[in-house]
Amino acid sequence: MLLFENFLLALSGLRANKMRSILTMLGIIIGIASVIAIMTVGNSMSGSITASMSNMGASNITVGLSQISTSTEVTQSGMRFNRGPRYTQYSDDDLITEEMLNELQKTYPEDVTGFLLDKSVGSAQAKDGQLYANISITGANQTSIENDDLTILAGRLFTDRDQDEAKKVCIVSDYFCNNLFNGNVDAALGKEISVLLSGKYCHYTVVGVYEYDASSNFSSSSEEDTSTTLYIPLLTAFNQVHEDPAYSQLTLTSSATTDVNTFMSTVEDFFNSKYYRKNESFEVSCSSLTSLLEEMTSMMSTISLAISFIAGISLLVGGIGVMNIMLVSIQERTKEIGTRKALGATNASIRTQFIVEAIVLCLVGGFLGIAIGCAIGVFAAHQMGYDAYPSMGGIIFSVVFSMAIGVFFGYYPANKAAKMNPVEALRYE
């Protein structure tokens, strides 16, 4: 009951001295508001990045050739010599073949769900008399096409027969149709187009039209000169450049239950021990967005923590302000303290009274800081284009920290009041 009475007494003291109480709480309000706002923006950025990378395929593994790093070896006689790659340019024998990929999928069927395979043929121009459209020709397998998540406006995607028989069919963009078919996507279907590539004409039949995402294009070119991707079957692309299907880099799609970081090491060991053990120049290495995401999240957390620590300095200033105002309050209420002690109040009850007042002062400042910090954080996150994620951990920490400040900085003034001599206090003018 005594604690509740002290709480009510502290609130009445705040109402009686509104301006002084607000100025005292200002440091705490600013400090906690800064910390909450920073943590909210940090969480929002991390959440947005995580969601974006998940959509991009955070569980995908990039598999590619890398040079074996040069190392220094020491002979038994003590002579040192550098051992490293003999070649800096890979040859056809160094490339990853489809036979290797099939063996990998056969060995780890529960982890490997597919491969995103593509082959760039080059930049070209589709022509029809005076009309033209700039394009970039890319061969892609079914998994890669599906991963690009194309919005088909007319026609269809490639069939297995298109891929297996290396048919000369293509999927073009709506920008392409704007230039050559006056924007009529249905008119493009089934039409044979002529493409000028490296001084020679190639011919493809249009089987599908997709919606081009203009927001992904950072070129300053006009719509007529914008280059868009023209998709052809993967084997068609290799036949076009007179090469056998082989890759210096590709993307492996793993199952949802696969530990990506662990499986990357497994894939590297599989290729390097089985196929690249005798290769003196190149080896297979893996990377993924998951590891990059973990590094970015850790980095952003460290930055947020560092900035929050700096903002927390104002909490120290606020705590000193609380101690100062409590000392002034004790000085003003010396007679009150003497009267209470003369009526039988113990040192513990006097100490509790002033500690509760300090805690209430810091808690009110803390709650105001949390409200202001959340508002600032949400506003800043929305202005930056992120979904707002207020930090519940930060809010709980702020409440506990506010109480701790009240106890820490309120104890000395409270203890000073508790030890006051009642006779001298009653005689104080």
Q: Are residues 319 and 226 in the same domain?
A: no
pLDDT value at residue 58: 61
Longest dimension (CA), the chain: 110
DSSP letter assigned to residue 69: P
- Specify whether 303 is located in the same domain as 402: yes
Same domain for 152 and 35: no
Q: Tell whether 273 is covered by a domain.
A: no
User: What is d(CA 330, CA 238) in angstroms, rounded to the nearest whole number?
Assistant: 87
Give the per-residue pLDDT at 229.
Answer: 93
- Considering only residues 108 and 215, tell me which one the structure prediction assigns the higher pLDDT: 108
- Number of structural domains (the chain) is 2
Verify that 118 and 180 share a domain, yes or no.
yes
pLDDT at res. 42: 76
Residue 134 lies in a domain: yes
- The reply to whether 94 falls in a domain is no
Residue 427 has a pLDDT of 58
Please, which residues have CB within 8 angstroms of residue 138's CB and are 6 or more apart in sequence? Answer: 118, 119, 120, 121, 229, 230, 231, 232, 237
pLDDT at residue number 1: 42
Give the Cα separation of 363 and 203 in Å (integer): 75
45 and 120 inside one domain: no
Residue 177 lies in a domain: yes
The three-class DSSP label of residue 204 is strand
Residue 337: inside a domain:
yes
**Residue 392 domain flag:** yes
- For the segment 321-337, the average pLDDT, to the nearest whole number, is 74
**pLDDT at position 241 over 70:** yes
Give pLDDT, residue 9.
67
Domain that includes residue 132, residue range: 114-247
Top-ranked range on mean pLDDT: pick from 8-22, 145-159, 354-368: 145-159
Same domain, 300 and 406: yes
Per-residue pLDDT at 228: 92
Residue 33 and residue 127 in one domain:
no
Distance CA 281, CA 287 (A): 20
Q: Considering the domain boundaries, does residue 13 fall inside one?
A: yes
pTM for the predicted model, two decimal places: 0.59
- Tell me what pLDDT residue 54 has: 55
Strand 152-155 with 192-197, pairing: unpaired
Closest by CA to 31, choosing from 408, 401, 297, 381, is 401
**Whether residues 308 and 380 fall in one domain:** yes
CA distance linking residue 91 with residue 319, whole number of Å: 69
Domain match, 198 and 298 both: no
Decide if 310 is inside a domain: yes
Confidence of residue 126 (pLDDT cuts 50, 70, 90): very high
- What is the C-alpha separation between 3 and 282, in angstroms, rounded? 74
Half-sphere exposure of 5 (CA within 13 A, CB side): 6
What percent of the chain has pLDDT above 70? 81
